[in-house]
A and B are shown apart, each in its own frame.
Chain A
Amino acid sequence: MSTETTAPATAGSAPEKTVITSWKAPIALGVFALLAVVLFVFTPRPADTSTFRLSTPSDVIQLPEIVLPTHATGIVMTVLLVALSAYSAWLVWQKRRVPLWLIVVFAVLFLIAFLAWAGAGASIPIYGLLIGTVSLSVPLIFGALGGVISERVGVVNIAIEGQLLAGAFASAVIASITGNPYVGLIGAAVAGVLVSFVLAAFAIKYFVDQIIVGVVLNVLVIGLTSFLFSQVLTENTELLNRPPRFEQIAIPILSEIPVIGPMLFRQSIIVYAMYVAVFLVWFGLFHTRWGLRLRAVGEHPQAADTVGIKVTTLRFWNVSLAGAIAGFGGAYFTLGSVGAFNKEMTAGMGFIALAAVIFGRWDPIRATLAALLFGFASNIQNVLGIIGSPVPSEFMLMVPYVVTIFAVAGLVGVSRPPAANGTPYIKS
C-alpha cells in the first residue's frame, strides 16, 4: 500500500483525500497473464481452428459461425493480456487506481483465448453458454435477492441454502400431489418462509447469534429433506416426486433477437418471474416507503425506533419475505430444471448466493450481475465437458468457487455493509 496527496488543502472544504493504491490487481492480472503465456503460447493444441457458434439451429436470424486460427488467436490475446497487466502495474506505480473496465476487458480477452484454446477443433456453442448461464443463475439470483432484503434489514442470512433446499423439496412434493406446478411454486415460497420464521424468531426475538442459527438451520434442512427423501419420497416416487415441469415459453419477436433473444426470452415462467422480482426488489428498496424504512432499520435501528418505526416487527416480516423469495428460487431446481427432488440438490448454491450479495454490495441489481457471473463460471464447466476440453472436468468444477473467492476477496474493494447488519436490537 502506498499513498499520495492529490489535492491541495483549502480551508473550509471537505477533508483532503488521497488515493490508497493496492498492488492486488496488477499481481492478480500478472498471474493470469503468465498462465496465458504458458497455456496459449507454449502448449499448442492439435487442431488449427476454433469455431464459435452464435445462433441456435432454430433461430430465424442465423448469424454466421466465427472461425479463428487457434494458435494465432492465443498469441495475439496473450500479448494483449500481458500489455494490460503491464499497464495496470504502471498505473499503480503512478499512484493511480486500476479502473474496472481494465479488469473486465482483461477477463473477456482471457475468456476468448481460453475458449479458443480449450475448444480447438470443436465448435463452441456460445448461445448454449449464455442460455445456461441464465438458467444456472436463477436460484442464485432469487437467493441473493432474499439475502439482500434480509441483510438490508439487519439480519445476516446464512440460511439461504436451507431456504433454497426447503423450497426445492416442498415444490416437488406439492406439485406432484396436486399435479399443478403453480401450486408447487407457492409451496416453495411457504417452505422458505417457514425456515425464515425459525431464523427470525431466534435471531430477532431471542438474540441468538445469527450466524450460528443460520448454519444450524442449513444443516437441519439438509438432514430433514434427506431423511424424508430416502424414507418417504423414494418409496412413493410416482405420487410424491414426479412433479410436472414448467415448459419454456418463447416470447414472440423478443426471443428472435440474435444471441440475447434465446438467452433471455426463451425461458420458463420462473425466469420471467425472476426478472420481475429483481425489478420489484430494486424499486421497492430505493423508491418506496417500505424500502426506506427497511434500510433505516438495517443501518441504525435506534434512529428508526425514535421516529416510531417498530424495529423488531419490521425485521421479522422482512426476514420472512426474504425466505419466501429464496424458497421460490428453490423451486427452480425441481420444477424448472431437474424435474424431481434429490438429496442435497442445492449443492452450496445458497452460499454462492450469499457471496453474490456481498460482491454485489447489498444492491439487488449488482447482486444479480454477480450471480450471473457465478452462473457463467458454473456453466463454462458444463459446456467444456460436452465439447471435450483438455482440462480435466474435475478441475473445472472448482472454477465457480475460485471465481467467487477472487471476486469477493479481490475485487470488492471497500464496500460497506448495512451498519447494523448482524446486530440484534436490544431495547434497554
Chain B
Amino acid sequence: MKLEIRGITKRFGALVANDHIDLVVEPGEIHALLGENGAGKSTLMNVLYGLYRADEGDILLDDVPQHFSGPGDAMAAGIGMVHQHFMLIPVFTVAENVMLGHEPTKAGGRLDLPTARAKVREISERFGFDIDPDALVEDLPVGVQQRVEIIKALSRDAKVLVFDEPTAVLTPQETDELIEIMRQLKAAGTSIVFITHKLREVRAIADRITVIRLGKVVGEASPTASNVELASLMVGRAVELTVDKGASVPGGPALVVEDLSVINPRGDVVVKNVSFDVCAGEVLVIAGVQGNGQTELTEALLGLQERVTGRITLDGKPLTGRSVRQILDAGVGFVPEDRTEDGIVAEFTIAENLMLDRSTAAPFVKAGNLQLDYRDQFAREKVTEFDIRTQGIDTHAGRLSGGNQQKVVLARELSRDLRMFVAAQPTRGLDVGSIEVVHSRIIETRDSGIPVIVISTELDEVTALADRILVMYRGGIIGIVPGDTSRDVLGLMMAGEAPAGTGAAA
C-alpha cells in the first residue's frame, strides 16, 4: 500500500510540532524518518495513527484521502504501529493483548480464546517467532514484547507498519534480528516507516531517508550517505561525534564494591554478588540492556535501596548502611536516571532546584532560615557557568528543555565538594548539542581526579566515555573490559556471553 502525507501541520499552542510535512512511502519500501528527540517525528506518526488530529494537511492511502477520528479508523485502513513505549497490557496474556479491540467471540459474548491463540501461532510461525500465546506479557523480555506488538499489528492486516524508535530497548543482537524481521515484512509487500535517531540502523536498512528538524522536512538522503553527512543534516550544523578526551590518569581504587546483592520488594534478586572498584580519575561505564540491574545497583550506591547485602567503601569509609543524607555528605554526586521524576522538582524554580540537596546547613540555610540572597547569587553564577538557557533563575525547572534541565542537575551535583560522581543515563532524550556539553563535563570531572561511574544503555555513549566498561546481565557482572573494546564484543556481552579470555569476575 502506498502512503502519502501531504502538508501535515500540527500545532500545540504556540509550538508548531509539524510544519507542512510531506512524505511518500511506496509499497514494499522501508522509509526511514530521521530526526533528533523533539524534532516532531512521533507527533507526525501520532497524526498518521489517528491519535492526534492534524490542523492542516491530508493523509492518502493508495491515493485515497483518509479521515481518521481515532486509531480504530487508522487500523481499519491498514495502518499498524509498533510504539516506542509498548502498548501492551502487562497483566494480560499474549493472546488477550493481540485480540483486544477486535475480539473473536462465541455465543453469549464469550471470548473465543482458541481462535485468538491460533492467530498468534499462525503469525508467529510465518516469521519464525517462538511465542507462547498464553504467556503473560509482563513475564516476557522486552525483545519478545516487541514481537507481540508486531503480531498485534499484523493480526489486523496492516499494510503500512510504523516502527517508532524500535531499537531503543533492544540489545545489538536483538536489533539485528529486528532488522531481519523488517526485511521479511518488506519482502511480503508491507510498507514500513522506520523512525529513529540512530544513524547506523538507518544506513543498514532504509531504502530512503527523510530528515526532520524542528518540525520541518530538511532534506532527503540516500542510505549511502555518511554518518557525518546525516548527523549534520539532522542537527543543522557540523557535529562532533566523538568525545574529545585525553588518556586517563587513574589513581588508586577509590570506590570498592564487594559482593553486593540487592533484592527488590517482590523478592527478585536484581543485583547478585557484584564486586568491582573504580579508581580516582577514571570513568567506569556500566553498560547493559535496560533492566539488567543497573538501576538497582546505582540506587544501592546512593543508599536508596532497602534490601542490600555486601560492602561498599569510598576512600576506605563504608557507605553501606548509611542514610542517603550521609552518603551525599560523604561527597557522592548523583545524576538520576529519570530526570523529570527524580532529578528536578518541576514546579520549583531553577534557584530552588540548584540548592535541593543542600538544605540542611550553611551557607544555604542558617538557623532554619533559607538564605535567599545567597541562593539567588549562587544560582546566577551556576546559570552562567553551565550555560543554562533560561529567562531567569525564577523560571520553573519544568519549563526548561531536557538539555537545560540536565544542566541544572549537573550544576547542582558538580558544585558540591565531590569524592565520587555517579551519572545514570546522563544523556537520555537529549539533543546532540546538550549531549556534547554533558559528556565534556563528565570528562572534566574525571580529569580533576574524581572517580566517575556512568550508567548507559547506548553503545555510542559507552564507547565514547569509558576508560573501563562493566557489562551487567541479569543482575550479575558479565565482564569488565577496557574502554576500547569493540562494539561486537560489547553487544555479545550485553546479550549474556562472557568475553573470551577475560574472567567473568574480573
Interface residues of A (CB under 8 A from B): 1, 3, 5, 9, 11-12, 14-20, 287-290, 292-293, 295-296, 299-300, 302-310, 414, 416, 419, 427-428
Contact = CB atoms under 8 A, between A and B. Distances in A.
Given A5-B269, A14-B139, A307 B75 contact: yes
Nearest to A305: B71
A302 B72 CA distance: 13
Contacts of A287: 110-111
Nearest to B478: A11
B272 interface: yes
Contacts of B152: 307
Interface in B76-109: 76, 81, 83, 86-92, 96, 99-103, 105, 108-109
Contact of B90 (A15, A18, A299, A307): A299
27 contacts: A3-B267, A5-B269, A11-B496, A15-B270, A16-B475, A17-B269, A18-B263, A18-B267, A18-B269, A20-B263, A288-B108, A288-B109, A289-B105, A289-B109, A289-B111, A292-B96, A292-B100, A293-B100, A296-B89, A300-B88, A303-B86, A303-B88, A307-B102, A308-B71, A310-B70, A427-B51, A428-B52
Given A5-B269, A288-B109, A288-B111, A308 B101 contact: yes
A299 B97 CA distance: 12
B130 interface: no
Mostly helix, strand, loop or mixed at chain A's interface? mixed
Nearest to B473: A11
B316 interface: no
Given A16-B269, A19-B267, A288-B110, A307 B101 contact: yes
A123 to B, nearest CB: 49
B126 interface: no
Interface string B1-45: 000000000001000000000000000000000000000000000
B268 A306 contact: no
A299 B92 contact: yes
Contacts of A299: 89-92
B51 A303 contact: no
A348 to B, nearest CB: 32
B103 A289 contact: yes
Interface string B99-134: 111110100111100000000000000000000000
Nearest to B156: A307
Contacts of A14: 139
B231 to A, nearest CB: 29
B267 A303 contact: no
B51 A305 contact: yes
Interface in B343-386: none
Contact of A300 (B90, B103, B265): B90
A14 B267 CA distance: 13
A16 B111 contact: no
Contacts of B200: none
B198 interface: no
Contacts of A308: 70-73, 75-76, 101-102
Nearest to A5: B269
Given A17-B269, A19-B267, A288-B109, A302 B87 contact: yes
The 4 A-B pairs at the shortest CB distance, nearest first, are namely A308-B72, A307-B101, A303-B87, A16-B269
Contacts of A295: 89, 92
B111 A17 contact: no
A299 B136 CA distance: 14
B428 interface: no
Contacts of B270: 15
Nearest to B273: A9
A293 B100 CA distance: 7
Nearest to A14: B139
Contacts of A427: 51
B268 A303 contact: no
A294 to B, nearest CB: 11
Contacts of A9: 269, 272, 474, 476
A416 B51 CA distance: 29
A97 to B, nearest CB: 10
Contacts of A289: 103, 105, 109, 111
Contacts of B139: 14
B342 to A, nearest CB: 20
Given A299-B92, A306-B51, A419-B90, A15 B111 contact: no
Nearest to A18: B267
B266 interface: yes
Nearest to A309: B101
A308 B111 CA distance: 18
A306 B105 CA distance: 21
The interface centre, meaning the residue of B92, B103, B267, B272 with most chain A CB atoms within 10 A of its CB, is B267
A293 B152 CA distance: 16
A293 B101 CA distance: 7
B496 A300 contact: no
The interface centre, meaning the residue of A295, A300, A414 with most chain B CB atoms within 10 A of its CB, is A300
Contact of A17 (B91, B105, B265, B267): B267
Given A14-B139, A290-B109, A20 B103 contact: no
Given A11-B474, A18-B263, 13 more contacts: A15-B268, A20-B267, A293-B100, A295-B89, A296-B89, A296-B100, A303-B88, A303-B89, A304-B89, A306-B49, A307-B102, A308-B71, A308-B72
A307 B87 contact: yes
A296 B92 contact: yes
Interface in B56-80: 70-73, 75-76
Contacts of A305: 51, 70-71
Contacts of B475: 15-16
Contact of A1 (B70, B71, B96, B307): B307
Nearest to B497: A11
Nearest to B293: A15
A17 B268 CA distance: 4
A48 B89 CA distance: 61
A302 B270 CA distance: 29
B26 to A, nearest CB: 26
A5 B272 CA distance: 11
Contacts of B103: 289, 292-293
A303 B87 CA distance: 4
B87 A12 contact: no
Contact of A15 (B87, B269, B307): B269
A20 B263 CA distance: 9
Nearest to B97: A303
B6 to A, nearest CB: 24
B296 to A, nearest CB: 11
A295 B267 CA distance: 26
A414 B267 CA distance: 11
B83 A306 contact: yes
A304 B269 contact: no
A85 to B, nearest CB: 24
Interface in B269-295: 269-270, 272
A9 B81 CA distance: 37
Contacts of B75: 307-308
Contacts of B87: 300, 302-303, 306-307
Contacts of A12: 496
A296 B101 CA distance: 10
Contacts of B108: 288
A252 B294 CA distance: 66
A140 B110 CA distance: 28
Nearest to A3: B263
A288 B52 CA distance: 30
Nearest to A7: B269
A300 B87 CA distance: 8
A287 B112 CA distance: 9
A287 B106 CA distance: 10
Nearest to B139: A14
A296 B71 CA distance: 16
A304 B100 contact: yes
B293 to A, nearest CB: 9
A309 B100 contact: yes
A427 to B, nearest CB: 8
A302 B110 CA distance: 24
